[in-house]
Amino acid sequence: MDTLTSDRLLQLRDALSRGASVREAVPASLGGTILGDGCWRLFSNRHPECGVALWNEEWCAAWGIPKTNVFTFGEDVFWNQIIVTADENTVYVCDHENGSCFDLQLGVVDVLESVLQHGLSWIDFYSNGSLEVAKGLMAEIAWEQQLHWVQPLILGGVVKSSNVTKVGRSAHLSGHVQLWKQVAGLAPGTEIRIQ
């Protein structure tokens, strides 16, 4: 994968200024690139393997979200999706561990420009130390793989390299959907025993 450059970001800015949607412009202008020391990956028509359109269909269907409501244009190495909602004004990091969306309070160009210039450490979402864990393992992770918490954080797992393994994108989606189906109806604070 190529590293995102400011020239590619200018292509995105130009496409958006001419009226292209984020759904069209990001995959065409930036797709297949990485940034944030490789921790963020931007989708294209060829990456992930199924392509950005099919990935969005699969991801939205798995979580029961109408595909017109959100568009995932990238992911971090932990498989948290980088999304915009239907209005395409603000970027969110969708935390697959607990289902929450972290509002980055910036539009697509501004978020990507900030990550390009300053890395990811300015994003409070990563204050749990996961970036340090990821950076130590980036050389071992292929494009179609993510890092996965062996004991998920929502089940008491800790953020450290000994709690991480590599997993393929489709297996990761399937595994987390199954997990969420099992815990979705439980009251907050319910004790879960791992056997």
The count of residues in the chain is 195
pTM: 0.86
DSSP 8-state code for residue 180 = H
Q: How many helices (H) and strands (E) does the chain have?
A: 6, 9
The residue whose two tokens read 């393929």 is: 168
Mean pLDDT of 172-178: 62
Neighbours of 71 (CB within 10 A): 24
The first and second tokens of residue 172, run together, are: 């990761």
* pLDDT tens digits along 115-158: 999 999 999 999 999 999 998 888 888 877 888 888 888 778 89
